Amino acid sequence: MSALTTDLYQLTMAQGYWQHGRHLDRASFYMSMRRTPFGGGFAIAAGLEQIVSFLDGLRFEPEDIDYLRSLSGGDGGPLFAPEFLDALPALDLSVSLAAVPEGTAVFAREPLLRVEAPLLVGQLIETPILNIINFQTLVATKAARLCHIAAPGQPVLEFGLRRAQGFDGALSACRAAYVGGCTATSNVQAGQRFGIPVRGTHAHSWVQAFDSEPEAFGAFAETMPNNCVLLVDTYDVDRGIENAIAVGRELERRGQRLLGIRLDSGDLLQQSRGARRRLNEAGLEDVAIVVSDNLDEKRIMELRRAGAAIDIWGVGTSLVTAAGGGALGGVYKLSAIRRAGEERWRPVFKLGAGVGKASLPGRLQVRRYRSAGGALERDVIYTRDAAAAPGAEPGTEGGRDLLAPVLDHGRLLSPLPTLEACREVAGREVTALPVGLLDLDCHEPAPVKVAPGLLELCDELAAEHQVLAAGRS
């Protein structure tokens, strides 16, 4: 964690704001996503805890300033003004933050997080905030999709450390996958750090290291009698299953138990059905069948529909790299500004030339409406800065605001929920979604409306845009 974990342009703009006496203007930024990932109808918000932790540790160290001092511009002269770099470490970097609680189901376009801070600071933290929320939300969403497709009671395990983007990418992927519903991880460090349950038994190399598969299986059962899941496809799956059954019977004779067998290649449908039948014939009905091998939510759905006899799903690459989603594409936009010494907030927005590239103006909030039974009905994005009086904007009666205050000028307002609590929220949220939004490829519109007052404000500002581009003077 470093104050330099940001894009250079945040710092060049920071100097500009400072030199023009604008750095203490109060600014409201919000983060939202342009579309829900993986072609699905929802996302699960995650990453708030890391953001709070990052903001808490945010400061410029002397070596950071030294580095910035060493940078030069196009003419070889210093990029940053010395007086700006001298002032930077003394600036108050605390922010006020409101956010959707982790685990909440969210939709495209609506704010997931709102920052109110001095203009310079709100700008500086854009990049780390996007980095954290984009990836956490993406993986939590992927996990929620996987866990929804696996039947209730069929754990999805996260096995992706070897394919993740760096050690830290792997760690944060584990955390997000757990929030989204995964039961455990193979990543021991994630277990140590976050208290996530860890799982794992042996690899092909264990079998190769012994003179034969029966010898290898026997040796493993001896060393891990209470954690014995045997990988049966090193040489020949049918033989592997027989060899595992022999070990399972031997463990039973000793009053112990074979927990499962694992299939990692080939036709998982036929293999799992054959294995189940033979395990049952051998009286090993409670031995679980675990599969891995490039699984994702679509393959899990196909296997389940075709009647595969699979109890536990190990998912690696597609989960930690968010296959099919790539990146959340979250954006962070300035939406209102209040000049130092002024009382009025000025709503701002950008139009942009591409679809979905326009932003919303004002200090934004989302109101969520639920049925009496708790089912999610609709969200309304609104702003206190529209013409209608605060709190009285049409369409926002009843319901409950989604963005809850988290930090007030850097002070944490109440302890953040535990990882377990966030995971429970996510589980409830998925259950409360309209069923059409749960389709893996969702064609239903998001249940999100923009309040009338906010729409009017957009129209007003759009009309002003030509003027802004041309200059008012």
User: Where in 205-264 is the site for its own copies (CB under 8 A)?
Assistant: 205-209, 211-215, 219-220, 222-227, 233-237, 239-240, 243, 256-257, 259, 264
- The least distance separating its own copies from the CB of residue 335, rounded to whole angstroms, comes to 9
Residue closer to its own copies, measured from CB, 157 or 403: 157
Kindly give, in sequence order, each residue whose CB lies less than 8 Å from that of residue 471, ignoring residues fewer than 6 positions away. Answer: none
Give CA–CA dist 11/18, Å, rounded.
10
* Position 340 contacts its own copies (CB under 8 A): no
Residue with tokens 């850097």: 410
* CB of 99 closer than 8 Å to CB of 413: no
User: Letter for the amino acid at 50?
Assistant: Q
* Position 53 contacts its own copies (CB under 8 A): no
Residue closer to its own copies, measured from CB, 171 or 430: 171
Site for its own copies in 73-102 (CB under 8 A): 73-77, 79, 81
Site for its own copies in 113-172 (CB under 8 A): 119, 123, 126-128, 130-132, 134-135, 159, 161-172
The secondary structure of residue 366, as a DSSP letter, is E
Kindly give, in sequence order, each residue whose CB lies less than 8 Å from that of residue 38, ignoring residues fewer than 6 positions away. Answer: 141, 142, 145, 297, 322, 324, 325, 440
Out of 90, 353, 372, 435, which residue is the one contacting its own copies (CB under 8 A)?
Answer: 353
Q: Per-residue contact track with its own copies, 451 to 470, x per CB under 8 A?
A: --------------xxxxxx
Burial class (CB in 10 A: 0-12, 13-18, 19+), 229: buried
Q: Of 2-10, 383-391, 402-410, 452-460, which part binds its own copies (CB under 8 A)?
A: 2-10
Site for its own copies in 389-418 (CB under 8 A): none
- The least distance separating its own copies from the CB of residue 238, rounded to whole angstroms, comes to 9
The secondary structure of residue 447, as a DSSP letter, is S
Out of 253, 411, 443, 472, which residue is the one contacting its own copies (CB under 8 A)?
Answer: 472
The encoded tokens of residue 23 equal 């750095």
The encoded tokens of residue 409 equal 């000028």
- The least distance separating its own copies from the CB of residue 414, rounded to whole angstroms, comes to 26
- The least distance separating its own copies from the CB of residue 165, rounded to whole angstroms, comes to 3
Q: Of 142-150, 202-210, 368-376, 443-451, which part binds its own copies (CB under 8 A)?
A: 202-210
**DSSP track, 226-271:** TS-EEE--SS-HHHHHHHHHHHHHHHHHTT----EEEE-SS-HHHH
CB atoms within 10 A of CB 282: 17
Cα separations in angstroms, 15 against 23, 91, 114: 8, 12, 23
Out of 284, 328, 425, 457, which residue is the one contacting its own copies (CB under 8 A)?
Answer: 328
Out of 24, 94, 252, 265, which residue is the one contacting its own copies (CB under 8 A)?
Answer: 265
Out of 114, 333, 367, 423, which residue is the one contacting its own copies (CB under 8 A)?
Answer: 333
* CB of 263 closer than 8 Å to CB of 287: no
- The least distance separating its own copies from the CB of residue 361, rounded to whole angstroms, comes to 9
Residue closer to its own copies, measured from CB, 119 or 147: 119
Residue closer to its own copies, measured from CB, 101 or 169: 169
Q: Of 88-96, 103-111, 147-155, 191-199, which part binds its own copies (CB under 8 A)?
A: 191-199
User: Letter for the amino acid at 20?
Assistant: H
Burial class (CB in 10 A: 0-12, 13-18, 19+), 34: middle
Give CA–CA dist 99/136, Å, rounded.
14
Residue closer to its own copies, measured from CB, 294 or 431: 294
| Type and span of the H or E element at 407 | strand 404-408
- The least distance separating its own copies from the CB of residue 447, rounded to whole angstroms, comes to 26
CB atoms within 10 A of CB 316: 20
The encoded tokens of residue 317 equal 């690459």
Residue closer to its own copies, measured from CB, 200 or 399: 200
Residue closer to its own copies, measured from CB, 97 or 129: 129
Residue closer to its own copies, measured from CB, 51 or 437: 51
Residue closer to its own copies, measured from CB, 76 or 341: 76
* Position 327 contacts its own copies (CB under 8 A): yes
Q: Per-residue contact track with its own copies, 289 to 308, x per CB under 8 A?
A: ----x---------------
Residue closer to its own copies, measured from CB, 93 or 388: 93
* CB of 108 closer than 8 Å to CB of 36: yes
Q: Per-residue contact track with its own copies, 354 to 373, x per CB under 8 A?
A: x--x----------------
Site for its own copies in 19-48 (CB under 8 A): 19-20, 22, 25, 27, 29
Give CA–CA dist 240/219, Å, rounded.
15
Out of 87, 151, 203, 392, which residue is the one contacting its own copies (CB under 8 A)?
Answer: 203
* CB of 311 closer than 8 Å to CB of 288: yes
* CB of 454 closer than 8 Å to CB of 336: no
